[in-house]
Structure 1
Amino acid sequence: MEKVLLNVKDVSEYLGIGETKTRELLRNPTNGFTIRIGNRLYAHKGKLDIWLKNQIL
């Protein structure tokens, strides 16, 4: 079963970037894919994929 929410480590591995840069990306309030649960940051994988496609175009 594929994860819907990715934590910082998962996003870092998925994008091939460091965890510090991943946290910086997830803290950006305008990205549209960040979900905060308590103090933890997660990325919604579907919305992250859409965001990535838009960044490439």
Structure 2
Amino acid sequence: MTEKILVDKRLLNIDEFCAYLGIGKTKARELMTKVDNPFTVRLGNRLYANKIMLDKWIDSISGNKLKKVI
């Protein structure tokens, strides 16, 4: 049932963020409080991750960044 909730939700709270990425709360808070990340949404004192922006951010940092040799 948790998987269905994560698929349907646009904003993930800290627990859902941890489950989605498979990381602990300390690392999750570290990532979510970085000023330069595009996915954090602050509502009052609470932090949420915009799932669509999070997926785009993960895609942008994934893979080997090898220079093309000509």
Q: Aligning the two structures, in what range does the TM-score lie when normalised by the shorter sequence?
A: over 0.9
2: CA distance, partners of 1:36 / 1:20 = 17
1:9-31 CA deviation, whole Å, 9 max, x = no partner?
A: 00100000001100110000111
Pairwise mapping of residues 14-53 of structure 1 onto structure 2 (< 5 A)?
14-53=20-59
TM-score, length of structure 2 as denominator length = 0.78
For structure 2, list consecutive stretches of 5 or more residues without a partner in the other structure.
Answer: 64-70
Query: Taking CA–CA contacts closer than 8 Å with sequence separation of 6 or more, which of the two structures ends up with the larger relative contact order?
Result: 1
RMSD: 1.0
Q: Kindly report structure 1 stretches of 4+ aligned residues shifted beyond 3 Å.
A: none
1: CA distance, partners of 2:41 / 2:54 = 11
Whether 1:3 aligns to 2:15 is no
Which amino acid letter does the alignment assign opposite residue 46 of structure 2? R
How far residue 33 of structure 1 moved from its aligned partner, in angstroms, is: 0.5
The share of aligned pairs that are identical, in percent, is 49
Report which of the two structures shows the higher radius of gyration computed on alpha carbons: 2
Which amino acid letter does the alignment assign opposite residue 41 of structure 1? L
